[in-house]
Amino acid sequence: MAKEFVAEPDLQFTRDVIAAGGSDVKKCYQCATCSVACPISPDNSPYPRKEMIWAQWGLKDRLVNDPDIWLCHHCNDCSTQCPRGANPGDLMKAVRKMVIEENSWPSFLGGLVGQPSLMVLTLGIPVAVVLFLVYINGGFRAPQPLNYGEFINYLYIQGVYTFALVFAVVSMVLSLKKYWANLEANCPINVGAVRKPFVPSLIEAFKEILPHDKFKECEANNIRYASHLMVFWGMIGLFVTTAIVAFNIDILHIAPPSRGGPGTVPIKILGNVSAIAFVLGLGIMIVRRITQPDQAGNSSYFDWLFLFVIFGTGATGLLTELVRWAGSAPGAYFLYAVHLMFVLALLLYLPFSKFAHIGYRTLAIAWGKSAGRDVTLPVVPNYAPVPAQEGGAEETPQA
Amino acid sequence: MDHKIGVYIDTGYGIGEALDIEALCTVATGEFSVPVCRAESYWNEPDKLAIIRNDIAGEGLTAVLIAGPSPRVHQDAFKFDGTIVERANLREHVVWCQPPNHEDTQMLAEDYIRMWIVKTSKYEDRPPFMEETSKDILVIGGGMTGMTAALEAAAAGYQVYLVEKEPQLGGWANKYAKVFTGKPPYTELTDSPVQEKIAAVNKSDKIKVFAGHRVFRISGAPGMFDVIVRADGPWIEKLDTAQNEWLAAKKAREAAGGAAGEKKEAEGEPTEPEVPDDPSEFAHEVVRVGSVVLAAGWRPEEPQNAEHLGYGTLPDVITNVQLEELAAKGKITRPSDGKEVSSIAFIECMGPEVEHPLLYGSNVSSLVALKQAQYLRKSNPDGKAFVFYNNMRTPGQYEVFYQAMQDDPGVFLSKGIPTGVASAASGLAVDVKDTLLGEQLRVNVDLVVLSTGMVPVTKDAAVLNLKYRQGPFLPENPYGFNDSHFICFPYETQRTGIYTAGCVRQPMDFQSCETDATGAALKAIQCMELVAQGKAVHPRAGDESFPEIFVTRCTQCKRCTEECPFGAYDEQPNGTPMPNPTRCRRCAICMGSCPERIISFRDHSVDMIGSMVKAMSVPDEYAEKPRVVVFICENDAYPVLDMAGMHRLQYSAFVRFIPLRCLGNINMVWIADALSKGIDGIMLIGCKYGDDYQCHFVKGSELAEYRMGKISETLQRLVLESDRINVQQLAIDEYYKLPGIINDFIELLSGFDPNPYKGF
């Protein structure tokens, strides 16, 4: 007999899940179509079926310690095929949001970023910081020739943004540490005691994440995989660009190449190509969310906030460059300031916004690798004819 | 009686092209000297019908034989007042299932002409059975169903007598805290509507209410039931005990005595239960009614196999009926300490060990669990209601209610089998296995509510207390529900003029009870009106024939009184049967049961069918053309033949079909007639029988099979193989099986020598 556990439903948790976007979770009647439809769900305790009933029964302890929610890449096949309209994809997403909130350090920031009613405060902080920087640099001026360093001193920028980055990284690491400990101690899935060591598991996870191998298996929604791949690599490109430029300025004391117009230096090509991929990928995501909600899933505040910030970052960055080429110094300075606001928001809220999936998902995939939790079902195309077997098709296949 | 018969052969539908019509006419005019024989296409068309009418008037025809399409089509066209109409099927039974212009096809068609002319010539002239009848209705049971039936019948203008055993009307509906609305949006509950209904009943001048009364006895027959109504009292227990003992003894005798059809009472055994009281000794009222609606309702099933769930030992483990009573008082409180309840586990299925964990479980128990879950959730926003079920059944619009309850965050639904309930620190701990969570789990709750089944009150008592030869009870299925042809005739009982409605018929909710009651009231009215015109009720509605017994030759064997599925025969003091024609459904099973062959209908008799068998021409043994007569049930097997014809399924041309009202008509003498005529094989095709029988008359096909089991003696006397007689069961949709059944039998017969009696 299976081990018995005492079910103590947490009504508030169920209400929270419903509020966080899993509004149809109670409709599920456990037919398991979702787990069958999912191309990447494991054979053992497949998701998202079990997550649905855990959420219905308010089993918070199970859901917040469930690595499976991160193995889902939200292709939304489960939701489109759900006969009851219970939208399992949305539930998985809502739980991911709650896990980010649950594990954030400091925890009040998790609550802040996820709360639609606190949006003004959330967005107001980076705006205020940048306005303050502009103010202490003498207000809004447009020094000619164009030099962002004269608009706001690089030292300030470096001070503030290094702090934000360090804060984000420390916070993220602390959050993930907590999460990893929870997974180790309280994972509700029976995966056995055998574990691979952490570092090789993490390397395996990277091998899967960098080319988006698993994401690609969500065949129903390949455009989703493609756009995410563009954003993902665009962002890496931009990060590398920024790092090299910072290294050049601070260590090698080489002036940034911006003042030379549309240069052909490799660093600029890398930056521009990455930025275009980044913005284009995000653009596709936004358009799909608006025009094809049935395919992309229902979008919550949490989704839109993150998309707004990250798209804003990319778009204002590109626009700043375009306006500079167009020769409008005030315009370029203005957009530069807005861009700084977006970048700060992105960095500062990395561990608390949807951006945190970069850490949680990586960690959960690594945990999955270490626990052997990536056994997927063979992908059978829809309605494929069953190959005729010898001895007649009427025979029931042997289990 | 001599008939002047006109034969009208239809040459349409391909009949004209496939057969030698002239030769057919020669059979009619030559062999049988019919005064009129015409061949035209499509006799159902108005100008053709005019020809027939002319002949009836001009030639003085008393009978018309249409030889063309199936008698199941154009029934309205071929109606000529005062003239007998018979139909020989040359379309589905001949040209659509046989090769055209073939010698054997022609012989088949000619045989059918012969057989049906003979049949038509055997019609007798008897007026329908008419007697003065009552058109009042008795309704037994004053709950929602009974009151609705009474109100509906009264609204249609009929006088109703409503008998309720409790001192006040309302029944169970008085005890419910809330009920389903039955109206959009279907997600809310409402107060019981019973008071309005009671007021309407009391207001109606067409309804006479006997509250606190019971039916002591019903005697008579539809249109003339005499009902003795008596004040409730201890007498009912004595009567029920006596009747139940009688029934138990009867069943024991039957079990010992073997199969159906052989139920002769031994000397000294009571054919009817002893009734403790004599109506002359107590105050009573007698009312004469035309028909009866039985709406006596249900009682809760005492939870069985629920010891492991603490029922009876833990005070906080109660039934859903008890919870309803608690809820009707206001807040739901715990019986043990009066604490307000904040969590309840509803258990729909007691356990896996027994075959029927809840024998009388139904969709009603699912609905009650959901309803009671809403009681808790409405009174306590943090209340938790767990429902563990085996089957969650919420038919029709109740699906909407189910969805609404499922959407409630405080309602937890899971399939599951409870394995135990134990006392815990703050209440009760319920262990459940095989849940939707994929594991064994435990929930801690304040209260455990067990579902109860709904047992029809007819399980415990006769209620109707009929004075019938076959006993005071309605024939029941093994669960105490009225036994009827459940697929096609859910309202019918095996006692004509008595219709069950509501939860005595099957567990149902308020709305269904009201619908059911309306239907039953309509059936009761229909019955009285048909009976008043001397006509049969469903399923041979409108049939004006009825059985007549040539009593002087009766040997008092009582087979007809025993075998009638509808208890139509009572007994005369001298042991001969006393027919009650208005109880009769005209199935003619008695005709088959009678060894003296003295029961007949004006249009259906032993002689008529026997003569049809004899009318066939049987080629001599050198012709290598065997002959098989197939007796078929006209209710299911006949449509099967028609469908086989429509699908142009081909089969042997050596078979001749003779339809019967029911396969239970089969009389041994026809078998003997056929075999001595030189027929090589005899086949019987009837309906499925057994627990899920499909026989319109309950046990006709079973009786036929039983009687054929006794035929081997006859065959031995004739020195014939017993396999020459074959009995088949065929459902109405199994037309595709027909050619196989027929051809296999012909194949089997080809292994035997031809019947040596050919040519005698």
pLDDT tens profile B315-344: 999 999 999 999 998 889 999 999 999 999
Alpha helical stretches, state H, A8-67: 11-19, 33-37, 49-56, 60-64
* Measured distance CA(B160)–CA(B154) in Å, rounded: 6
- Identify the pLDDT of residue B213: 97
Confidence band, pLDDT 50/70/90 cuts, at residue A343: very high
- Which top CATH class is B548-600? alpha beta
Overall residue count recorded for chain A in this entry: 399
Confidence band, pLDDT 50/70/90 cuts, at residue B354: low
Query: Which tens digits make up the pLDDT trace of B501-557?
Result: 999 999 999 899 999 999 999 999 999 999 999 999 989 999 999 999 999 999 999
- Identify the pLDDT of residue B690: 84
Confidence band, pLDDT 50/70/90 cuts, at residue B356: low
Residue-range domains of chain A with CATH: 11-101 (1.10.1060.10), 107-371 (no CATH)
**What's the 3-state SS for B425-494?**
CCEEEEEEECCCCCCCEEEEECEEEECCCEEEHHHCCCCCCECCCCCCCCCECCCCCECCCCCCCCCCCC
Query: Which tens digits make up the pLDDT trace of B433-469?
Result: 889 988 899 999 999 999 998 999 999 999 999 999 9
For chain A, percent of residues with pLDDT exceeding 70: 90
User: How many helices, marked H, and strands, marked E, lie in chain B?
Assistant: 19, 32
A4, A14, A53 ranked by CB distance to B409: nearest: A14
Q: Are A378 and A216 in contact (CB under 8 A)?
A: no
CATH tag, B1-125: 3.40.50
Distance set, CA B616 to CA A276, B106, B110, B657, B679 (Å): 96, 13, 9, 11, 9
Residue A395 predicted with pLDDT over 80: no
- Higher-pLDDT residue of B354 and B488 is B488
Interface test with B, best of A15, A17, A56, A62 (most B CBs within 10 A): A56
- Identify the pLDDT of residue B350: 79
- The two structure tokens encoding residue A191: 């995966």
> Residue B102: how many CB atoms within 10 A of its CB?
13
- Identify the pLDDT of residue A230: 96
Question: Rounded mean pLDDT of A359-385?
Answer: 75
Question: Rounded mean pLDDT of A133-137?
Answer: 92
Residue B215 predicted with pLDDT over 90: yes
Q: What is the DSSP letter of B307?
A: G
The answer, for B184 touching chain A at a CB cutoff of 8 Å, is no
Pick the CATH number of B604-760 from 3.30.70, 3.40.50, 2.40.50, 2.20.130: 3.40.50
Question: Nearest to residue B693, comparing CAs of B480, B486, B475?
Answer: B486
List residues bridging with B160 in a β-sheet: B137, B207
Choose the most confident range, by mean pLDDT, from A194-203, B163-172, B304-313. B163-172
The answer, for A53 touching chain B at a CB cutoff of 8 Å, is yes
Least CA distance to A15: which residue of chain B? B409
Residue B225 predicted with pLDDT over 50: yes
Residues 6+ apart with CB under 8 A from B16: B39, B41
Q: Do A50 and B384 touch (CB under 8 A)?
A: no
Residue A392 predicted with pLDDT over 60: no
A4, A8, A26 ranked by CB distance to B431: nearest: A4
Query: Which tens digits make up the pLDDT trace of B719-758?
Result: 888 899 999 999 999 999 999 999 999 999 999 989 888 8
- Identify the pLDDT of residue B260: 45
Which residues of chain A neighbour B384 with C-beta distances below 8 Å?
A: 9, 11
Structure-token match 């065949």, residue found? A219
* Measured distance CA(B149)–CA(B502) in Å, rounded: 10
CATH tag, B302-452: 3.50.50.60
Question: Rounded mean pLDDT of B141-164?
Answer: 98
Question: Rounded mean pLDDT of B110-120?
Answer: 97
Overall residue count recorded for chain B in this entry: 760
Residue B97 predicted with pLDDT over 90: yes
Q: Which of residues 357-386 of B touch A (CB under 8 A)?
A: 382, 384
Interface test with A, best of B187, B403, B407 (most A CBs within 10 A): B407
Amino acid at position A121, single letter: L
- Identify the pLDDT of residue A377: 52
Question: Nearest to residue B413, comparing CAs of A83, A26, A89, A84?
Answer: A26
- The two structure tokens encoding residue A383: 């309605």
Choose the most confident range, by mean pLDDT, from B256-265, B391-400, B604-613. B604-613
Portions of chain B given CATH number 3.40.50 = 1-125, 604-760
For chain A, percent of residues with pLDDT exceeding 90: 60
| ipTM given for this complex | 0.84
Question: Nearest to residue B359, comparing CAs of B493, B454, B229?
Answer: B454
Q: Are B39 and B21 in contact (CB under 8 A)?
A: yes
Amino acid at position A21, single letter: G
Query: Which tens digits make up the pLDDT trace of A70-123?
Result: 999 888 889 989 999 999 999 999 999 999 999 998 888 888 898 899 999 999
* Measured distance CA(B298)–CA(B124) in Å, rounded: 48
Question: Rounded mean pLDDT of A227-247?
Answer: 92
- Identify the pLDDT of residue A387: 53
Query: Which tens digits make up the pLDDT trace of B229-273?
Result: 999 999 999 999 999 999 999 888 888 865 444 445 455 567 788
Which residues of chain B neighbour A27 with C-beta distances below 8 Å?
A: 403, 406-407
Portions of chain B given CATH number 3.30.70.20 = 548-600
- Identify the pLDDT of residue B24: 96
Q: How do strand B681-686 and strand B725-729 relate by DSSP bridges?
A: parallel
B407, B433, B440 ranked by CB distance to A26: nearest: B407
Question: CB burial class (10 A; 0-12, 13-18, 19+) of residue A399?
Answer: exposed
Residue A391 predicted with pLDDT over 70: no
Q: Is domain B137-261+283-299+456-532 annotated with CATH 2.60.40.10?
A: no
Least CA distance to B400: which residue of chain A? A27
Residue A285 predicted with pLDDT over 50: yes
A6, A9, A27 ranked by CB distance to B406: nearest: A27
Confidence band, pLDDT 50/70/90 cuts, at residue A242: confident
How many CB pairs (< 8 A) connect A and B?
A: 59
- Identify the pLDDT of residue A249: 80
Q: Do B441 and A6 touch (CB under 8 A)?
A: yes
Confidence band, pLDDT 50/70/90 cuts, at residue A258: low
* Measured distance CA(B59)–CA(A284) in Å, rounded: 91
Portions of chain B given CATH number 3.50.50.60 = 137-261+283-299+456-532, 302-452
- Higher-pLDDT residue of B147 and A109 is B147
- Identify the pLDDT of residue B1: 54
- Identify the pLDDT of residue A142: 86
Which residues of chain A neighbour B441 with C-beta distances below 8 Å?
A: 4-7
- What integer best gives the mean pLDDT of chain B? 92
- The two structure tokens encoding residue A227: 């756009």
